[in-house]
Amino acid sequence: MKAIRLFPLRKLYDKDRAMTKTAFFLFFYCAIYSSFSQSAPGLFLNPTGTYILKGEKHRSEIKGNFAEIRVKLINDSQVAIAMYCNKGYPEYLAGSFTDTLSYADNRAVYASKPDPSCQIIFSFENNGLNIKQVYTDPASTCGFGKGVFPLGFIEKYSSDMPIIQSLSRL
């Protein structure tokens, strides 16, 4: 009479080993990727340069946000920023500002004068910048039209010293 195994332990053991190897590989990959994709904490970045977001062009119309941001490091704790942004087709609502902002921990914060319930945070990285909006009023637009301000990652186009001036197209 043959012995019947109710639990195929060998197969379970092999599956657990494979899952452990996969989990280890994913953890190792994520650790390596994050170490190369982000600047080290405490590492000072010179944000000087031009950052450009290009909208998608369809039938001679630009759809989606497009923007140009020029940044110049004044000293270790201040940057000058000139920015123009546009919502794109069909309204082409636009906004711009030129200002000197505090710079610490590779971040600059723009506090809107027309809308004090809102701040725009520029977080600089080696290859671009991330823009996020912090507000107390969910309807806040930081003084810009709805959907005008581009949020998310914007690639660095050039590290050359930009000319800081109003970029308003009006």
> In this predicted model, what pLDDT tens digit does every residue of 56-103 receive, in sequence order?
777 777 777 888 999 999 999 999 999 998 888 888 888 888 999 999
Prediction pTM value:
0.69
Sorted by where each begins, the domain ranges of the chain are: 9-38, 49-158
- Give SS3 for 95: strand
- Average the pLDDT over each of 10-14, 58-62, 102-106 and give the range with the smallest value: 10-14
DSSP-assigned states of every residue in 70-92 = EEEEEETTEEEEEEEEE--TTT-
Mean of pLDDT over the chain:
79
Which DSSP helix (H) or strand (E) runs through 49? strand 49-53
- Are 141 and 133 in contact by the 8 Å Cβ rule? The answer is no
Structure confidence at residue 41 (pLDDT): 58
Chain centre distance of CA 140: 20
Average pLDDT score over residue span 11-40: 50
Structure confidence at residue 25 (pLDDT): 47
